[in-house]
Amino acid sequence: MTSEMSKDEIVASLKAVQSRQSPASKVGQICDRLLHQLSSPVRITLLGPKGAGKRRLCNALLGTDILPEDMPIPTFELMHGDAESISATLSDRSERTVSGREFADVLDDHPSLLRVFAPIPMLRDLRMLVLMTDDWQTEALPAAKWAAPRTDMVIWVAQDFDSEQQALWQQMPATISDHAMLALTSELSAPESDTAAQINQDNPFGSEFLGVYRVSLGAAPASDGSGPSPDCRALSDPLMQHLERARQADLDRAMMLINRFGSTARGPKPSPEAPAPAEHIPVVTGTQDAPVPEPLPQQPAHDPPEENLTEIPTAQPEALELLRNCAKGVLSEIDALDETEASELVLDRCVDAADELCQILPPNGAVQDFASQAADYLLLLKLENDDSASEEALIAMLQLKRSVEGALAA
C-alpha cells in the first residue's frame, strides 16, 4: 500500500495523533510502539554451529572486514555509531569501552558480550546480534531463547543443515522459527547438489524457512562498507527486500491510525496485511530472482529486561483454552447474523480475546510479546473495518494460537 506522504510526514502526523491521546489509551500505546518501530533498526540474529562462517557472513553483508576471524570472541552485537568503538560487558555486569576496533584490548577481560559500534551506513537500518557458542549442541537452545525477545528475524548459518541441526530446529521458539532464513555457506560444486535437494525435497524443515540461500564467503568484501559483497547477493538482496517490506508495513499501520484519528492526513487508506505462514521456497543462487519473505513482526517499544525472559508454563494451557473458547463462541453465534453483523462479531471477539490473553500471559515473555502485537494489529483492523478485516483477524488469531501451542510444546 502506498501513500502520498513521505516517511517524515507520516511520523510527524503520527506524533500529532499521539499528542491528542491519553498515554494510557490503547491508541496512544500503539502510536508509541509504531513511532519506536519507525525510528529503530531492524534486529537480526545470526546463529549456527561453530565454524559455520557467521563472522565472515557479517563481514560480507556489511561489505567490510569489521570482525576478526583469527581470534575467539563471545556473542556480540553490531550497531551503528558515529565512531568505531567496542563496549564489553564483563562477568560482573560492569562495562568497559575502548575506542577503535582493537578486539584484543577487551578480550583479556573475558567479556560475556560485546557491542561493536561502527559508522557503516547499513547499520542505520539494521542491528546484528551474533550468537557465539563453544558447545553448539548444549548452548544453542538456551542462547536462542535468550535472543528471541531481542530479535525480529533470524539467519541460521550452516555449512550443511544436518540431522543434529534439524533436531535443534524443532525445539526453537516460534518467534525464532517463524521468521528465519537459512544461509548455506559450504562450497558446493553445483546448486543441484544432494544437500540442497535433501533440504527442499526430502527434508520437512526446508519449507519452514522464509528462504534457503547459498552464499559464497570466499572473496574478501569491499573495504569501505559501501554495500554487501557480490558473493552474498543471493542472501543480501532478499534481506534488503525484507527490510523494505517491514518498513512499509509499519508505515501502513501508521497511516491507518492517521486516517482514523488525524485531521490533516493525506493519501489513501492502507489495507492491513496479515502475515501468512511461510511457503516452501527453493534454494536460490545469485543468478535467480530472490523470493521476497513475509513482513517482520513489530518489535516491542523497548528492549526486554534481562530477567524473566521465559514463559510461566501454567499460563499457557489457560491461554490456549481461551483461544478455543473464542472460536467456539464465534461459531455458535455467526449463523444467525447477516454478513455485516458477522464481520463485526468476529472483530469484536478477536479483539476481546487478544486483550484478555495479554492479561493471562506473564510479562516479558516471547508469547506475551506476540500477543500484544496481535492485539494492536486486531484493533487496527477493527478501526479500519474494510471488507477483508474479519478474515485477516481470524488469520491473526490462528497464528496466535500456533504461537501458544509452540510454547506449550517447547
Instruction: Give, in order, the Cα–Cα distances in Å from 50 to each of 12, 135, 179, 236.
Output: 45, 8, 22, 22
pLDDT tier, 288 (very low <50, low <70, confident <90, very high otherwise): very low
Q: Per-residue pLDDT tens for 39-93?
A: 888 899 999 999 899 998 998 888 888 888 788 899 999 999 999 999 999 988 8
Q: Is the pLDDT of residue 107 over 80?
A: yes
Alpha helices in 299-338 (DSSP H): 315-334
The strand pairing partners of 213, in sequence order, are 183, 284
Using CA atoms, how far apart are residues 38 and 254, in angstroms rounded to an integer?
Answer: 9
Task: Considering only residues 283 and 227, tell me which one the structure prediction assigns the higher pLDDT.
Answer: 227
Q: What is the pLDDT of residue 314?
A: 54
The total of other beta-carbon atoms located within 10 Å of residue 316's CB is: 23
Task: Considering only residues 94 and 410, tell me which one the structure prediction assigns the higher pLDDT.
Answer: 94
Range with lowest mean pLDDT among 232-241, 268-277, 318-327: 268-277
DSSP state of 197: H
Q: Is the pLDDT of residue 348 over 80?
A: yes
Q: Per-residue pLDDT tens for 166-182?
A: 888 888 887 788 788 99
Task: Considering only residues 295 and 181, tell me which one the structure prediction assigns the higher pLDDT.
Answer: 181
CA proximity to 64, closest of 286, 227, 235, 218: 227
Q: What is the pLDDT of residue 285?
A: 39
Q: Are strands 113-118 and 76-80 parallel, antiparallel or unpaired?
A: parallel
Using CA atoms, how far apart are residues 53 and 336, in angstroms rounded to an integer?
Answer: 59
Domain covering 47-241 in this structure, CATH number: 3.40.50.300
Q: What is the pLDDT of residue 28?
A: 84
Q: What is the pLDDT of residue 218?
A: 67
Alpha helices in 279-409 (DSSP H): 315-334, 339-360, 366-384, 389-409
Q: What is the pLDDT of residue 155?
A: 94
Most confident range (mean pLDDT) of 141-150, 205-214, 271-280 is 141-150
CA proximity to 275, closest of 403, 185, 361: 403
Q: What is the pLDDT of residue 328?
A: 80
Phi, psi of 72 (to 5 degrees): -70, 135
Q: Is the pLDDT of residue 284 over 50?
A: no
Q: What is the pTM of this model?
A: 0.67
DSSP state of 102: -
Cell numbers 557479517 correspond to: 58
Task: Considering only residues 158 and 351, tell me which one the structure prediction assigns the higher pLDDT.
Answer: 158
**What order of strands is seen across the sheet that includes strand 180-184?**
95-99, 85-89, 113-118, 76-80, 126-130, 42-47, 153-158, 180-184, 211-214, 283-284
Using CA atoms, how far apart are residues 205 and 165, in angstroms rounded to an integer?
Answer: 10
CA proximity to 75, closest of 127, 102, 113: 113
Q: Per-residue pLDDT tens for 352-407?
A: 888 888 777 776 566 777 777 788 878 877 777 777 788 878 877 877 777 777 66
Using CA atoms, how far apart are residues 32 and 343, in angstroms rounded to an integer?
Answer: 28
Q: Per-residue pLDDT tens for 217-245?
A: 765 555 555 677 777 888 888 888 877 87
Sequence-distant (≥ 6) Cβ neighbours of residue 118 within 8 angstroms: 66, 78, 79, 80, 81, 84, 101, 225
Using CA atoms, how far apart are residues 322 and 349, in angstroms rounded to an integer?
Answer: 11
Q: What is the pLDDT of residue 337?
A: 79
The answer to whether 249 touches 273, Cβ cutoff 8 Å, is yes
Phi, psi of 5 (to 5 degrees): -85, 145
Q: Is the pLDDT of residue 35 over 80?
A: yes
CA proximity to 266, closest of 10, 7, 8: 10
Q: What is the pLDDT of residue 75?
A: 93
Percent over 70 (pLDDT), the chain: 76
Q: Per-residue pLDDT tens for 296-319?
A: 444 444 444 443 333 344 566 777
Q: What is the pLDDT of residue 113?
A: 93
The mean pLDDT value of the chain amounts to 76
Cell numbers 496466535 correspond to: 400
Q: What is the pLDDT of residue 255?
A: 82
The strand pairing partners of 114, in sequence order, are 76, 88
Q: Which helix (H) or strand (E) holds 164?
A: helix 163-170
Range(s) of the chain covered by CATH 3.40.50.300? 47-241
DSSP state of 374: H
Cell numbers 534481562 correspond to: 306
pLDDT tier, 205 (very low <50, low <70, confident <90, very high otherwise): low
Most confident range (mean pLDDT) of 115-119, 317-321, 335-339 is 115-119
Q: Is the pLDDT of residue 268 over 60?
A: no
Range(s) of the chain covered by CATH 1.20.120? 304-410
Cell digits of residue 52: 559455520
CATH architecture of structural domain 304-410: Up-down Bundle (1.20)
Q: What is the pLDDT of residue 308?
A: 37
Task: Considering only residues 338 and 103, tell me which one the structure prediction assigns the higher pLDDT.
Answer: 103
Q: Is the pLDDT of residue 283 over 50?
A: no
Using CA atoms, how far apart are residues 59 and 132, in angstroms rounded to an integer?
Answer: 15
